[in-house]
Amino acid sequence: MMELHILGTASARPTSTRSVSGSVFSCPEGLVIIDSGEGFQMRYARQRSRMKRQKEPSLLRPNRIVAVALTHGHLDHTWGLLPFLQTLSLDGRQQPLFVYGPTSPEILDRLEADGIDASMPEQTASAELLNQYRAWFALGGTSTRLGYDVRWLLGHPQSGRWVEFVHDATTLAWYDSMPQPEGFTTFRMDSIPTLHSVPSCAWQFSRKERKGSFDREKAALAGLSQKERKNLSEGIDVEHGSGEVLRASQFRGPSKPALSMVVSGDTAEQSIQPKAPVTVLVHEATFLNDTADKATQHLHSTAAGAARTAAHCKAQHLVLTHFSARLRDADDALAEAKEVLGQTCAVATANDGDRVRIDEDGNAILLKASESGWVQHNLTHH
């Protein structure tokens, strides 16, 4: 099972009902925060209390957070990070936290050549994440000052070259592939290159296809010894009685399909190259067709563009978010995306507080936030 709590569905300018970007990915191996715009920690706290009121399991508790994954450096995606890290510190956090963000190969080259205090290329955007990391270190964002280990990482999604700011950001450690967050073993996360006015990426969370579980009842009914049962459960065929061969596969339930969710940040319409088949794509849809020129100019997507991207990466479901404050009704975005997708891919729009869930069998469900909890919508093809 995996689930995404979408806690901000506005673009850079919030509205009275939509906040700036910030989501929480949840799986049995932990939580990953994807972007944390202004006020993120309030929205996270509110979602937790909403869950509590509905008597849902406390899967959003902060000690399950293993990582923060930034999609890019624009402030509507990052400005809430440091206060959030400081709250985790006040809560007495002990376990390490990975922070990932994309940067350019030029910045990595500078860091590699000149070390941690390297100057940045002249044309660097003010929202460059290295700029922000340095500001956050100066403002108390180091492991010693926070009281828990923050593993600050910057990388280039296209090449897989990553650098970590270690020892309270006094030295650098280099990687030729992105380190996985602690505790991720059956799940993994990958950065997927996207196209925006600053270095950017989407994040893909995936779980491989899994063997079905051992059918204890069937084994018990077959009157097998403990040793035979053990072998079968470990995938070893056994010879039972007078030469009858029992195949381990006969004692397995159906296998669980591979699951994956891709969460984009801001990006122009383009062909994303996912690392695994995409069950759900959560994609920005800042503009509508009538402002498509703005989308092109600012390297954002229209709802139709998001739909074309979904079709191109063969996503089974698409959820639209990151709406311009000018958008009156998200149904307009929905209609334009549907026109592109037809029957090939189910599409929905997100509001703040909505949850997107993929169950063990690969079914996607949208849980729409309402006054009294969540209302379930099957993301089926219609």
* Chain residues that interact with Zn ion, rule: CB under 5 A: 74, 76, 266
Pairing of strands 280-284, 259-263: parallel
Write the DSSP string, 244-285. Answer: EEEPGGGGB-PPBPPEEEEE--S--S-----SS--SEEEEE-
Report d(CA 40, CA 57) in Å as an integer: 21
- The answer to whether the CB of 318 falls within 8 A of the CB of 345 is yes
DSSP 215: -
- The answer to whether the CB of 92 falls within 8 A of the CB of 165 is no
Token pair listed for 183: 């505790």
- The answer to whether the CB of 286 falls within 8 A of the CB of 300 is yes
Cα–Cα distance list, 376 to 18, 195, 351 (Å): 20, 33, 14
- The answer to whether the CB of 367 falls within 8 A of the CB of 355 is yes
Token pair listed for 76: 């509507």
Token pair listed for 29: 């191996």
Closest among 4, 83, 89 to 36, alpha carbons compared: 83
- The answer to whether the CB of 166 falls within 8 A of the CB of 172 is yes
Q: Which is nearer to Zn ion, 36 or 279 (CB)?
A: 36
DSSP 213: P
